[in-house]
């Protein structure tokens, strides 16, 4: 189980989550914070402290925030091979028909 940060974080970014994460797997991006799916141990400490309820278990991400599951995975592409556990994330496809 890993956690994903979704839309409400944008514009907030108050860092409460990264301060409590025991494995320091929450990283600052340009617009929001992101959880490294290869490092997250699913402890839910971050979910508890987020003031805007922007953090969800990947299996419980509300419909309107599903795009963030992929957005989060893409943020770590290159450093993390298995994006979000159990889910295949489509990466950039090679050109050509």
CB-wise, 64 or 92, nearer to ligand SF4?
Answer: 64
CB-wise, 27 or 74, nearer to ligand SF4?
Answer: 27
Pairing of strands 55-57, 3-5: antiparallel
CB-wise, 22 or 94, nearer to ligand SF4?
Answer: 22
The H or E element spanning position 70 is: helix 66-75
Q: How far, in Å, CA of 71 to CA of 45, rounded?
A: 22
What token pair was written down for 4?
């994903």
**Cβ atoms of 7 and 69 closer than 8 Å:** no
Binding site for ligand SF4 (CB under 6 A): 3, 5, 9, 12-17, 20-21, 23, 25-26, 33, 35, 40-46, 50, 52, 54-55
- Tell me the closest approach of the beta carbon of residue 81 to ligand SF4, in angstroms: 18
- Tell me the closest approach of the beta carbon of residue 15 to ligand SF4, in angstroms: 5
């Amino acid at each position: 189980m890993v956690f994903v940060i979704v839309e409400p974080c944008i514009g907030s970014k108050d860092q409460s989550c990264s301060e409590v994460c025991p494995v320091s797997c929450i990283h600052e991006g340009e617009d929001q914070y992101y959880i490294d799916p290869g490092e997250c141990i699913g402890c839910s400490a971050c979910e508890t402290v987020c003031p805007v309820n922007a953090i969800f278990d990947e299996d419980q991400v509300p419909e309107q925030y599903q795009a963030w599951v992929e957005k989060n995975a893409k943020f770590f592409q290159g450093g993390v091979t298995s994006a979000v556990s159990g889910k295949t994330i489509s990466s950039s496809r090679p050109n050509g028909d």
